[in-house]
Amino acid sequence: MDSLVTILLASVAATAVMMLSLWIASLVKKDASIVDTFWGLGFVQIATIGAIFSPAITNRKILVAVLVAIWGIRLSLHIFLRNRGKGEDFRYKAMRERHGDKFPIVSLFTVFLFQGALMIIISLPLQVAQTALYPKSLSWLDYLGTAVWLTGFLFEAVADWQLKRFKSSPENKGKVLDSGLWRYSRHPNYFGESVVWWGYFLIALATPLGAWTIVSPLLMTLLLIKVSGVSLLEQTLVKTKPEYTKYIKSTSAFFPWLPKSKDF
């Protein structure tokens, strides 16, 4: 328990420093979008702290550190390449216009520190799994969690790749991607990210305190469906893509499912 408290405090301190540094950089660049690029890397930082400060080297600690590094680095690199040269994201532009001269201080609390706080809460399975000394050997829950993580990771990575390839073709401008994984879910990348966190939770569940970390995948799934993911993005897509309303009628919003007929 003492090691978990130490890791939590170290993670809070490191995350606060990272977010304050990013906030200062955003003021210089006049672009709050940089916070999105560091979302995945923030969890890599927390997992690294767990690996360093946890009292003993266990297979579970190594497993979690490796899985988080693979997921977080890929996600941050993808967002960096996606946003490069495109200026500030429309969400932050709208906030900037709404708050005017107050935007710098508003963004500090509602964007940077808020995302930092979310990182600490959502990363609980990582920290619990890395500090647990028992069971010493990997259990069936660890293997199940890894399998669930791999499913989510592949869903997210493949969906991101399919969308990037679709958008790279000028002839697809204004059109809706409804093939590949996007035929079965309107947001397969968000679904994949949610599944990744359920995988981390299952690994944590193999440890004595793991059950308490269920708040992490529940919160992540709620955010992706109701707050910053599906709900927010679709408000814009309906306005900018004429075919999107029809796509909504034929395709599941989040959980992959067989599409309905497109003839209405």
pLDDT at 255 over 60: yes
pLDDT at 262 over 80: no
pLDDT value of residue 239: 82
The H or E element that residue 234 is part of is helix 230-240
Instruction: Give SS3 for 246.
Output: helix
Of residues 107, 85, 95, 126, the one with CA closest to residue 216: 126
pLDDT value of residue 203: 97
* Between residues 181 and 243, the one the model is more confident about: 181
The pLDDT tens digits for 181-226 are 999 999 999 999 999 999 999 999 999 999 999 999 999 999 999 8
Cα dihedral 100, 105, 106, 112 in deg (nearest 10): 130
pTM of the predicted structure, to 2 decimals: 0.93
The pLDDT tens digits for 126-160 are 999 998 888 889 999 999 999 999 999 999 999 99
Is residue 32 within 8 Å of residue 111, measured between CB atoms?
yes
CA 14 – CA 229 distance, rounded (Å): 26
Amino acid at 240: T
Omega of the bond leading into 208 within 30 degrees of 0 (cis): no
The single residue listed with the structure tokens 């000394």 is 133
pLDDT value of residue 1: 63
Of residues 115, 155, 151, the one with CA closest to residue 254: 155
Is residue 225 within 8 Å of residue 231, measured between CB atoms?
yes
The pLDDT tens digits for 62-87 are 999 999 999 999 999 999 999 988 88
The pLDDT tens digits for 100-128 are 999 999 999 999 999 999 999 999 999 99
pLDDT at 54 over 90: no
Range among 54-63, 66-75, 85-94 rated most confident: 66-75
pLDDT band for position 263 (cuts 50, 70, 90) = low
